[in-house]
Amino acid sequence: MAVVALLALLALVPAAQARPSTSPPGSAAVALTRDALAAFCSSSTSASLGACSLLSQCGTSTTKLYCSTLSLLYALCNYDNPTTDVCTQYQTYCTAKPSACRADGNTAWPAWSNSTVFQNQIYRMCKVHNMEGCEKCTNPASSPSVPITQLANCDSFSVYVAMCRSMPEMTVCNVPWIKMCQSNSSTTKANFPQICPAAAFERSITATPTASAVPAVATTVNLDDASGLPPMRMYFHQDTTGILLFRAWVPCTTGAYVGSCFGVFALSLASSAFHLTATTAGARRELLIAGRAAVVTAQIALSYAAMLVVMSYNVVWCAMLLLGAFTAHVALSRGDENTRRAEWGPVATQERDKSAVDSRISLADEQ
């Protein structure tokens, strides 16, 4: 009996070896298809993910740099890493074939960031200025550490890019938008003009990390690049930093801010002085026509400069403008008739003259 059982067992061995395996070697290393990625991004819960937004920008093209399926998966799974079978399959594939995932054209766009950073930059812009685009992403991430599951349901990347296109000078556009565009300028200009217009290449930004490097988390991104400009504030404030008329005139220290205050005071003083001089010169016939025209032109230019200072909404600078105007009028007004005409206008002067004449007539009648 033992011999018969042994013979039966030996007969089953070839059959077991001939049976095909349900999990052949290498089956786990199958790359995810474009359709599978598109199906994932079509879900409403994926609307806020930057990689899905870039997928829509790329369209069906897989030959553009940063538009290959593996490149988009790199951006999606290494930066946002949503809990989904898509990223699970991608990570499995990269574990089996790391060289394919790190090959040129299969990594993310240099300086790419996660979707939380895109939304947080939107939040920072809209907090300063309710500009166009804020209505497209209500309640964006208020911190770079907000989980992607709590992001606002909006196209984070597209809204951020559109806002930076309209106001590229804002500091929050330096990282990651300008760095992304300047990382490979020739390619981005040709392939992504809708993302990287000419304004994205006008400023010098420090070099970006290589695409093959392991992506950093959102909280390590330098959101306050020192090369940027202070944000524009559409409300009265007392901040000691701000752009004053020129790009290079940005006080960054207390001493520079005090010096700027004196500069604003001098501007107001000069504007008021030119105004008084231009008004009295015509009546006194002391200046030639060309000279008077030059004075009037200078006064208009200084007035517009003063208006731009007011538009900075800096309370101290506005106060210095008023103080300068007051000082100029006190110092330069002499009390003659021409000055009174400049201060009160011809209508008021005529009314005073008429009142004086009426008083004299009344006095004569009484006598």
For residue range 224-278, what is the model confidence (pLDDT) as tens digits? 443 345 666 667 878 777 788 887 787 878 888 899 999 999 988 888 888 777 6
**What pLDDT is stored for residue 234 in this prediction?**
67
For residue 360, pLDDT beyond 90: no
Distance of CA 87 to the CA centre of its chain: 31
327-346 mean pLDDT: 62
First to last CA, the chain: 161
Q: Which residues pair with 70 in a beta bridge?
A: none
Q: Long-range pairs for 281-284 at CB < 8 Å and ≥24 separation?
A: 283/338, 283/341, 284/338
d(C-alpha 176, C-alpha 200), whole Å = 11
| Number of residues written out for the chain | 367
pLDDT averaged over every residue in the chain: 78
Q: Which of the two residues, 260 and 289, has the higher pLDDT score?
A: 260
The residues spanned by each domain of the chain are 42-101, 115-220, 254-348
- pLDDT-based confidence at 168, cuts 50/70/90? confident
Give the closest residue to 115 by CA, choosing from 49, 170, 180: 49
229 backbone dihedrals φ, ψ, rounded to 5°? -105, 155
Question: Strand locations in 88-141, DSSP E?
Answer: none
d(C-alpha 222, C-alpha 265), whole Å = 36
d(C-alpha 112, C-alpha 79), whole Å = 8
**What pLDDT is stored for residue 330 in this prediction?**
86
154-163 mean pLDDT: 95
Q: Which of the two residues, 283 and 327, has the higher pLDDT score?
A: 327
**What pLDDT is stored for residue 184 in this prediction?**
87
DSSP assignment of 179-233: HHHHHTHHHHHHH-TTTS-GGGGSS--PPPPPTTSPPPPGGGS-SS-TTSBPPP-
- pLDDT-based confidence at 67, cuts 50/70/90? very high
d(C-alpha 47, C-alpha 52), whole Å = 7
- pLDDT-based confidence at 280, cuts 50/70/90? low
For residue range 181-218, what is the model confidence (pLDDT) as tens digits? 999 888 888 899 999 998 899 877 644 343 333 444 43
For residue 58, pLDDT beyond 50: yes
99-120 mean pLDDT: 94
For residue 94, pLDDT beyond 80: yes
Residues in CB range of 268: below 8 A, 6 or more apart = 306, 320, 321, 322, 323, 324, 325, 328
Decide if 156 contacts 122 (C-beta within 8 A). yes
d(C-alpha 102, C-alpha 213), whole Å = 9
The angle formed by the CA atoms of residues 175, 247 and 178, to the nearest 5 degrees, is 20
- pLDDT-based confidence at 291, cuts 50/70/90? confident
Q: Long-range pairs for 42-46 at CB < 8 Å and ≥24 separation?
A: 44/153, 45/153, 46/82
Percent of the chain with pLDDT over 90: 38
For residue 36, pLDDT beyond 90: yes
What is the crossing angle of helices 34-41 and 50-58, to 10°? 120
Other C-beta atoms closer than 10 Å to the C-beta of 256 total 15
